[in-house]
Amino acid sequence: MSNRKQTQGACGFCGRMMTKSGLSKHLKTCVKRQEAIQAAASQAASQPPIRLYHLQVQDRASSDFWLHLEMKGTATLKDLDRYLRAIWLECCGHLSQFSVGGWSGDQIPMSRKIEQVFLVGTELTHIYDFGTSSITLVKAVDVRQGQPLSRHPIYLMARNQMPEAICAECDQPATHWCPECLIEEGQWVTFCETHAAEHPHEDYGEAMPLVNSPRVGMCGYDGPAKPPY
């Protein structure tokens, strides 16, 4: 059994630090989230309720990277694709797709509404870039009927904190990674800011900053790895 420490993230409502699976359970009963839901219902009392889906998102290659999103059922997979590109993936305008079952599964049109695709337990695969691919798993873990917490299609409820990385020279927390070491030697090497500036980079420019995205080190990705709204 692996003793590898799981990444944690803060609940966007109460700030409690938990793992991805812990937050999946916590968000169902979080008192601060329930207060936000009630406030949204009061502010839009004249509006008909809609279905809102709790989506658990995880990078397939690394369990370090994950998101908990609430998404309007009336929004589309294209809205979700745009969000994933903005917070995690976009580097060079690559093609992407959603499917059931990965590469060999059935592709789902981006125009499909979330409520047409997801039931609780449904898992889709999102593939960005058909060359150097980033593969993301999106699973519906809950659904509620009510008013959205944002005017936007998606509300970020939680995400992983930046995974820990250590400087190869001094064992201090790392802030940068070396493209030249990765491309020329096939080694993932990280440095603190001081040693990143001192490390020689002959052919591939300076060390790149580490950002909170599973696409770091792939293609031309350099962030910013921030929510689009």
Full DSSP string of 132-157: S-EEEEEEEEEEEEE--SSSSSEEEE
Beta pairing, strands 17-19 & 50-59 = unpaired
**What average pLDDT is seen over the chain?**
94
Give the pLDDT score at 2: 40
DSSP state of 174: P
Give the pLDDT score at 183: 82
When pLDDT is averaged across residues 81-106 and rounded to a whole number, the result is: 94
- Say if CB 96 and CB 128 are below 8 A apart: yes
When pLDDT is averaged across residues 9-25 and rounded to a whole number, the result is: 98
Whole-structure pTM value:
0.93
Domain ranges of the chain: 8-159, 164-223
Q: Give the model's confidence band at 4: pLDDT under 50 very low, under 70 low, under 90 confident, else very high.
A: low
Model confidence at 198: pLDDT above 70? yes
Report the percentage of the chain scoring pLDDT > 90: 83
- Say if CB 8 and CB 17 are below 8 A apart: yes
Model confidence at 203: pLDDT above 80? no
Most confident of the following: 4-8, 64-68, 184-188, 205-209: 64-68
CATH placement of domain 8-159 = 3.10.290.30
pLDDT tens, residue by residue, 153-185: 999 999 999 999 999 999 899 999 998 888 888
